[in-house]
């Protein structure tokens, strides 16, 4: 491949990557790869984590780019610091869900609206 063709390919790849990452920014997304100035430039507000891994070529640095805050939890099963804490949270969530189910429809909507408002306030 000629140098010009390689440059064109690289420019197209960068444009596709940037457009994809803009779309991904609207949701909770995670990108994994090797440290990249391109991704650092495209994702200046994303949180990053670097760590060492063993590959066939030896020790390499890998990097995660995360569009969500460290404190946000994707799944309730991962909330908590250890098994006991996760069990406590799981049981609490089950109790709250059961109490919520027993409320009249109008009250359920009012409680749900208040909880969603609280969640928006924390972002």
Query: According to DSSP H, which parts of the chain are helical?
Result: 3-24, 37-42, 83-101, 105-121
Radius of gyration of the chain (CA): 22
Give the pairing type, strands 30-33 and 47-55.
unpaired
Please tell me the distance from the alpha carbon of residue 51 to that of residue 22, in angstroms, as a whole number. Answer: 25
pLDDT (tens digit per residue) in 65-116: 888 777 665 566 677 778 898 889 889 989 999 999 999 988 999 988 888 8
pLDDT bin (cut points 50, 70, 90) of residue 123 is: low
Res 5 pLDDT > 60? no
Is 59 within 8 Å of 89 (Cβ atoms)?
no
Please tell me the distance from the alpha carbon of residue 30 to that of residue 37, in angstroms, as a whole number. Answer: 17
Tokens matching residue 29: 């997304």
């Amino acid at each position: 491949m000629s140098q010009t063709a390689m440059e064109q390919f690289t420019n197209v790849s960068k444009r596709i990557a940037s457009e994809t990452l803009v779309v991904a920014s609207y949701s909770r997304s995670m990108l994994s790869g090797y440290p990249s100035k391109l991704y650092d430039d495209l994702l200046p507000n994303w949180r990053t984590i670097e760590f060492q891994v063993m590959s066939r070529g030896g020790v390499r640095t890998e990097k995660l780019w995360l569009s969500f805050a460290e404190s946000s939890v994707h799944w309730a099963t991962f909330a908590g610091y250890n098994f006991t804490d996760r069990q406590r949270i799981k049981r609490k969530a089950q109790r709250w869900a059961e109490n919520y189910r027993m409320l009249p429809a109008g009250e359920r909507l009012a409680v749900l609206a208040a909880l969603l408002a609280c969640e928006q306030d924390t972002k």
